[in-house]
Amino acid sequence: MQIILPFIRKEEAIAYARESGLFLNHCVHVFPVPGKPAKRILLSFSFNYSSVEEGTIIIEMSGRHGYSSEYQKLLKDFYLFL
């Protein structure tokens, strides 16, 4: 199961998933721009325990609409022009 949440809900979501028998497998922090705090969190859960893989994505690297390559790769199937 994968979810996208506001960053401030991270611990709450992990605790709720744990109560439901799910384990966190992947955690990706989403930053709007370099140097700013994370705004979103991508979490991936399963019923199988494994070590947590962590990562980061920065949305904009070079000004307004200067999207990072990671962000473009993540959303390429959902947008015609990104």
Per-residue model confidence as pLDDT tens digits over 20-49? 999 999 999 999 999 999 999 999 999 999
Q: State the pLDDT at residue 72.
A: 83
* Closest by CA position to 13, among listed 43, 39, 55, 47: 43
Cβ neighbours of residue 43 under 8 Å, at least 6 residues apart? 2, 3, 4, 5, 10, 13, 14, 17, 24, 26, 27, 28
* pLDDT over 70, % of the chain: 98
- The ranges assigned to domains in the chain are 2-75
Mean pLDDT of 15-19: 97
Q: Binning pLDDT at 50, 70 and 90, where does residue 18 land? A: very high
- Name the token pair of 52: 């947590």
- Is 65 strand, coil or helix? coil
Instruction: Look up residue 76 and give its DSSP letter.
Output: T
Mean pLDDT of 51-58: 95
Give the helix ranges, DSSP H, for the chain: 10-19, 69-75
For the segment(s) 2-75, the CATH number from 2.60.450.10, 3.40.50.150, 3.30.70.20, 3.60.20.10 is 3.40.50.150
